[in-house]
Amino acid sequence: MSTQQQLQEHLYRIDGRGYGAYKDIAGKWHWENGTCLYVDHVQADPFASPSRLRVAVPWTRPGHLKGNPDRLRGASGYVGRLARQTTGKVQAKRGSGRSGQGYLDAGGQELLDRTAVVLGPGEIEIRLSLGLPAAGRRVLGRTASDLLQGMIQSLRETLAFSPSQWEQLRQWADVAEDQTVLRQRLKEAGLVAFVPDGARLPRKSGVSDLPLEPGKVIPFASPPSMRVTLSVPHRGEICGMGIPRGVTLIVGGGYHGKSTLLRALERGVYDHIPGDGRELVVTVASAVKVRAEDGRSVAGVDISPFIADLPAGQPTADFYTQEASGSTSQAANIMEALELGCELLLMDEDTSATNFLIRDARMQSLVHRDHEPITPFIDRVGELKDKGVSTIMVMGGSGDYFSVVDQVIRMNAYRVADVTAEAQEISERMPTGRARETRGEHWEFGQRVPLPGSINLRRRNRVRAEGRGLSTVLLGDETVELSGVEQLVDASQTRAVATIMAYAHQHYVDGRRSFGEVLDLVYLDWEQGGWECISPYRGHPGDLAWPRPHEVVAAFNRLRSLKTSKGFAPR
Ligand code: ADP
Ligand code: MG
Per-residue pLDDT of 374-397, as tens digits, reads 999 999 999 999 999 999 999 999
Binding site membership of 260 for ligand 1 (Cβ less than 6 Å)? yes
Q: What is the mean pLDDT of residues 180-196?
A: 97
- The domains located in the chain, with CATH, are 4-161 (no CATH), 187-445 (3.40.50.300), 447-567 (no CATH)
Distances (CA, A) of 570 to 363, 449, 508, 510: 37, 11, 18, 17
Hey, is 517 helix, strand or coil?
Answer: helix
Q: What is the mean pLDDT of residues 135-150?
A: 94
Contact indicator for 222, 240 with CB cutoff of 8 Å: yes
- The count of other CB atoms within 10 Å of the CB of residue 189 is 15
Query: What is the distance in A from the centroid of ligand 1 to the CA of 38?
Result: 47
| pLDDT (0 to 100) of residue 1 | 67
Q: What is the mean pLDDT of residues 312-341?
A: 96
380 Cβ partners below 8 Å, 6+ apart?
305, 306, 438
Q: What is the mean pLDDT of residues 507-530?
A: 95
The residues placing their C-beta within 5 Å of ligand 2, an ion, are 259, 350
Q: Which residue has the higher pLDDT, 10 or 437?
A: 10
Per DSSP, what are the bridge partners of residue 119? 124
Atom of ligand 1 nearest to the CA of 262: 6
- The count of other CB atoms within 10 Å of the CB of residue 512 is 14
Distances (CA, A) of 354 to 302, 326, 329, 376: 21, 9, 13, 9
Per-residue pLDDT of 256-284, as tens digits, reads 999 999 999 999 999 999 999 999 999 99
Asked if pLDDT for residue 570 goes beyond 70, the answer is no
Assessment of whether the complete model's pTM goes beyond 0.85? yes
Binding site membership of 210 for ligand 1 (Cβ less than 6 Å)? no
The bridge status of strand 407-412 relative to strand 247-252 is: parallel
Q: What is the mean pLDDT of residues 316-324?
A: 96
Asked if pLDDT for residue 323 goes beyond 50, the answer is yes
Residue-by-residue DSSP string for 447-511: -EEE-GGG---EETTEE-EEEETTTEEEETTEEEE-TT-TT---HHHHHHHHHHHHHHHHHT--S
Phi-psi region of 98 (alpha: psi -120 to 50; beta: other; left: phi over 0): alpha
| pLDDT (0 to 100) of residue 203 | 97
Tell me the chain's radius of gyration from C-alpha atoms: 26
Asked if pLDDT for residue 404 goes beyond 80, the answer is yes
The gap between the terminal CA atoms of the chain, to the nearest Å, is: 53
Per-residue pLDDT of 209-234, as tens digits, reads 999 999 999 999 999 999 999 999 99
Asked if pLDDT for residue 108 goes beyond 70, the answer is yes
Per-residue pLDDT of 74-103, as tens digits, reads 999 999 999 999 887 777 767 888 888 888
Asked if pLDDT for residue 539 goes beyond 70, the answer is no
105 Cβ partners below 8 Å, 6+ apart?
80, 114, 115, 116, 127, 128, 492, 542, 543, 544, 545
Asked if pLDDT for residue 527 goes beyond 50, the answer is yes
Binding site membership of 183 for ligand 1 (Cβ less than 6 Å)? no
Measured in whole angstroms, the distance separating CA 512 from the mean position of its chain's CA atoms is 28
Q: What is the mean pLDDT of residues 547-565?
A: 98
Per-residue pLDDT of 495-513, as tens digits, reads 999 999 999 999 999 999 9
Per-residue pLDDT of 340-357, as tens digits, reads 999 999 999 999 999 999
Query: What is the distance in A from the centroid of ligand 2 to the CA of 419?
Result: 19
| pLDDT (0 to 100) of residue 15 | 96
CA angle 567–521–516, rounded 5-degree value: 35
Query: What is the distance in A from the centroid of ligand 2 to the CA of 531?
Result: 38
Helix or strand holding residue 121 (H, E): none
Could you give the CA distance from residue 39 to residue 23 in angstroms, rounded to a whole number? Answer: 10
| pLDDT (0 to 100) of residue 233 | 97
Atom of ligand 1 nearest to the CA of 263: 6
Could you give the CA distance from residue 88 to residue 102 in angstroms, rounded to a whole number? Answer: 7
| pLDDT (0 to 100) of residue 571 | 42
